[in-house]
Amino acid sequence: MILSASHLRKTFNTPEPVEILSDISLDICAGESIAITGKSGVGKTTLLHILGTLEPFDSGQLLIAGKSFHPKTAPAYRNSQMGFIFQAFNLLEDFTALENVLMPARIARKPYDKKKGLELLSLVGLETRGHFPAKLLSGGERQRVAIARALCNDPNILFADEPSGSLDQQNQELVTNLLFDLVRSSKKTLILVTHDKEIAARCDRSLCLSNGKLTSSI
């Protein structure tokens, strides 16, 4: 099991206590692809961030590759084993597309590898945009840079939060095919939040989040 969550709970206390996740249990095998669907505001992004050790939870247990979350070791593990495609992209605005894509490698203190960065950009059809500052890119281009960045350290687990939400149909197909090809050919684990039923149906399993709990959806 690459990821095992049991009875996770999460309440946000600002401005007043609201329980977002009340009882989340989920086992994910290595190489599996899981879709998480649910209405806006139910807590999909919160859950993805908790499973990716970016956000703390209040109670329950989270095991990743058999180990429990530890604040000291989590960042290094996250950087080398996990890739995140954030819903809001989270690009560094004043850095170029290429610098953004190579940021996970820079954090891991790997040598600067322009060729690799351009290859990743080319996977998402942006090989000519490497020198553009992120703030000058269009919404869809930003999303594709975020996808290329998530692949930089060749992670085992990919967390994708509505990864094609800002894309036209052609690019939507390009990036969803890219993600599913990676899962199949490189046996990566994919945890994908999506509103798109067709994309959810391409995953091995589809789960729906509502009232703080996950249920299997058909």
Ligand X SMILES: Nc1ncnc2c1ncn2[C@@H]1O[C@H](COP(=O)(O)OP(=O)(O)OP(=O)(O)O)[C@@H](O)[C@H]1O
Answer with the entry of ligand X, Mg ion, none that 170 interacts with (C-beta below 5 to 8 A by kind): none
User: How does 164-176 read in b/e, with b if 16+ C-beta sit within 10 Å?
Assistant: bebbeeebbebbb
Q: Is 45 in the site for Mg ion (CB under 5 A)?
A: yes
Q: Is 37 in the site for Mg ion (CB under 5 A)?
A: no
Apex 159 CA angle, 5 and 64, nearest 5 = 35
CA nearest 20: which of 38, 5, 1?
38
Residues 127-186 that bind ligand X (CB under 6 A): none
Looking at the Cβ atoms of 44 and 144, the one nearer to Mg ion is 44
Q: Is 14 in the site for ligand X (CB under 6 A)?
A: yes
| Distance (Å, whole) CA 145 – CA 129 | 9
For Mg ion, what does the binding mask look like between residues 82 and 101, x meaning CB under 5 A?
Answer: -----x--------------
Q: Is 45 in the site for ligand X (CB under 6 A)?
A: yes
Q: Which H or E run includes 103? A: helix 103-107
Q: Which residues would be at the binding site for ligand X (CB under 6 A)? A: 12, 14, 20, 38, 40-46, 87
